[in-house]
Amino acid sequence: MFTRRNLLATAGLALPLVSACQPHSAGGVLTACDVHRDGYPTVTAVKWLGENLAKETGGRLSIRSYPSGQLGAEDDTISLAQSGVIDICRANAAALNNAFPLTQVVSMPFVIENDDHLHRVLDGAVGQEILDGFQARDLIGLASYDAGGRCFYNTHRPIETPKDLHGLKIRVPQSDVFIDAVGAMGANPTPLSFSAVYSSLQSRLIDGAENNWPTFETARHLEVAHYWSQTQHSYSPEFLMMSAKSFGQLSQKDQALVRDLAKASVAVMREAWVKTEAESRTKALAAGTKVVEVNKAAFKAVCDPINAKRLSNPDVARLFAAVRAMV
- Burial classification of residue 272, based on how many CB atoms lie within 10 Å of its CB (0-12 exposed, 13-18 middle, 19 or more buried): buried
**Dihedral angle over CA of 288, 289, 292, 296, nearest 10:** -160
Report the candidate in 148, 136, 185, 150 with the shortest Cα–Cα distance to residue 165: 185
Query: What was the pLDDT predicted at 322?
Result: 98
Query: What was the pLDDT predicted at 210?
Result: 98
pLDDT tens, residue order, the chain (327 aa): 344 445 545 434 433 333 444 443 334 999 999 999 999 999 999 999 999 999 999 999 999 999 999 999 999 999 999 999 999 999 999 999 999 999 999 999 999 999 999 999 999 999 999 999 999 999 999 999 999 999 999 999 999 999 999 999 999 999 999 999 999 999 999 999 999 999 999 999 999 999 999 999 999 999 999 999 999 999 999 999 999 999 999 999 999 999 999 999 999 999 999 999 999 999 999 999 999 999 999 999 999 999 999 999 999 999 999 999 999
Q: What are phi and psi of 261, to 5 degrees?
A: -70, -35
- Find the radius of gyration of the CA atoms of the chain: 19
Q: Compute CA 29 distance to the chain's CA centroid, rounded to the nearest angstrom.
A: 24
Query: What was the pLDDT predicted at 16?
Result: 37
Q: Is 104 left (phi over 0), alpha (psi -120 to 50) or beta?
A: alpha
Q: What are phi and psi of 47, to 5 degrees?
A: -65, -40
Query: What was the pLDDT predicted at 14?
Result: 33
Query: What was the pLDDT predicted at 175?
Result: 97
Query: What was the pLDDT predicted at 13?
Result: 40
| Partners of residue 30 on adjacent β-strands | 63
Q: How far is CA 133 from CA 2, 123, 207, in A?
A: 30, 15, 36
Q: Give me the CATH topology for the region 4-100+122-127+134-146+237-276.
A: D-Maltodextrin-Binding Protein; domain 2 (3.40.190)
CATH number of 150-235+280-325: 3.40.190.170
Query: What was the pLDDT predicted at 42?
Result: 98
Query: What was the pLDDT predicted at 309?
Result: 95
Q: How many Cα neighbours within 13 Å face the side chain of 29?
A: 12
Neighbours of 141 (CB within 10 A): 23
Please tell me the distance from the alpha carbon of residue 147 to that of residue 35, in angstroms, as a whole number: 13
Instruction: Specify the pairing of strand 290-292 against strand 227-234.
Output: parallel
Neighbours of 182 (CB within 10 A): 28
Delimit the domains of the chain by residue range: 4-100+122-127+134-146+237-276, 150-235+280-325
Please tell me the distance from the alpha carbon of residue 239 to that of residue 261, in angstroms, as a whole number: 15
The pTM score is 0.92
Do 150-235+280-325 and 4-100+122-127+134-146+237-276 have the same topology in CATH?
yes
